[in-house]
Structures are given as C-alpha cells and as structure tokens.
Amino acid sequence: MLPILYQDDDLVAIDKPAGLLVHRTGLDAGETRFAVQLLHAQIGRPVWPVHRLDKGTSGVLLFALSAGAASAARSVFESNQVTKTYRAMVRGWPPPAGLIDHPLRRLPDDARASARALDVQPARTRFRTLAQLTLPLPYGDHAETRCALIELTPLTGRRHQLRRHCKHMAHPIVGDATHGKGPLNRALAGWLGLQRLWLHALSLELQHPLTGAPLRITAPPGNEWQRWPLPLP
C-alpha cells in the first residue's frame, strides 16, 4: 500500500518510496511497478500525475483525480507558484547557505513544449546546510569521508535539476549513479548497508488549484535515514 498523505475530491498525495517509477517510460522498459497504476488500484479511481519525482527519489508526490484538476494543478506548477523542499545527503561540506544559479541544457527525454523551445534554460536552486558529519570511511587520499545533510529549494523546475546542481557545486548527492562518484557511492552503500539515491521530497506548499485554500503536504524522511549518524532536523 502506498502511504497517502492527503486526499480530497480533486487531489491525492502519496509518500513515494525510493525505487518506484511514477509512470511507464521507455528509459526503464524492464520495470513493472508504477505509482500511477498502484495508486489507481489502491483507491479505485484513475489518477493523473501533476509533477514528477525521479525513480530514486522518495517523498511527496501529487496526483489529480480528474483531467480538469490535473490541468489546473499543472498550471500552478508551471507558473512556479509551488514551494518544494527537499532533503539530500551530499559528498563533502558545502557552504552554510547559497544560491546555485546555473543554466541547464534540456535532456533528450524531456518532451515538454516549454523545454523544446530552448536548448539551455535558466535554473536556480537555494540550499542550506543542516548538518555535517565525518565518517570513518577511507576514500582516495583521505582517511575519512565528509558528508553533509542539506536542504534544497528549487526555484525553477528543470529535469534532474537538484542532482545536476549539486554536481555543479562539487557536492553530488550520495547514491547518484549518473552525477556522483561510483566508487564512493558503492563504499557508502556498503558502510550504510543500503544503496539508494539519498534525495527526499520533504514538502509541497501551494494554493489548492480549484479552491484557492493554502495547502502544505509533508512526508518526513523514512526510517532508512536513521542509518546516518546524525539527528534529522
């Protein structure tokens, strides 16, 4: 059963587990489980995804319960009237806070009309460091491994924006097979006893697209985050 965080006549939000695709895609043709189909079966109603999370990302994922509600909700997202907050564990120790203002080239699988218009799009992400830790795990020339828990707030909605921006500031998200360091990811997975992308969609804040009421949906990080030797803010 998918954990339901919020539901009304128009919307439903779940806490998506890491490793679950939102919907079918040719990029992962061997996958057989999808959030859209699982949620449809669980609540007995068709659902429309309003936005996306990467397969490896856990946390708040919003769906609409009708085509009209989906259109209205997507308009809210596309006009950047949504505040999204994420938690991530990254390699190294980033600055206490900052703004990553780094344009991103659209990815080949991004079929959105707005993305087709430009090869490179502006992309901005705010971040702040919540905690730093040093692990007794040798890596390269270092006897220990530094990691940090950070909060990320994307100000634009580019594909894989947070993963690509963390790589750009030389602090890739732990477990990111595309933008991180494979040997370090494997070493950390062995040390933690779990391999995953350590990125979690903590909350969504928006006005309800049909009623206008303020809406805040949250999903605390799962129990697997307790494997890291620090308290979670």
Q: Which domain holds residue 117?
A: 4-227
Using DSSP's 3-state secondary structure scheme, residue 177 falls into coil
In a domain, 232, yes or no: no
In a domain, 217, yes or no: yes
In a domain, 78, yes or no: yes
In a domain, 116, yes or no: yes
In a domain, 10, yes or no: yes
**pTM as predicted:** 0.91
Active site residue 101: no
Residues 6+ apart with CB under 8 A from 28: 21, 55
Using DSSP's 3-state secondary structure scheme, residue 185 falls into helix
In a domain, 109, yes or no: yes
**Active-site choice (54, 101, 109, 110):** 54
Contact in structure between 191 and 135 (CB atoms under 8 Å):
yes
Q: What is the pLDDT along the chain (233 residues), one digit of tens a residue?
A: 999 999 999 999 999 999 999 987 655 556 678 999 999 999 999 999 999 999 999 999 999 999 999 999 999 999 989 999 999 999 999 999 999 999 999 876 554 544 455 589 999 999 999 999 999 998 878 899 999 999 999 999 999 999 999 999 999 999 999 999 899 999 999 999 999 999 999 999 999 999 999 999 999 999 999 999 976 55
In the prediction, which pLDDT does 29 show?
57
CA distance 216 to 93: 30
In the prediction, which pLDDT does 113 show?
47
In the prediction, which pLDDT does 27 show?
56
Give the CATH number for residue 126: 3.30.2350.10
In the prediction, which pLDDT does 220 show?
96
In a domain, 233, yes or no: no
In a domain, 73, yes or no: yes
Q: What is the domain count for the chain?
A: 1
Strands (E), the chain: 4-7, 11-16, 48-49, 58-64, 83-91, 97-101, 104-105, 120-121, 124-135, 145-154, 199-207, 214-218
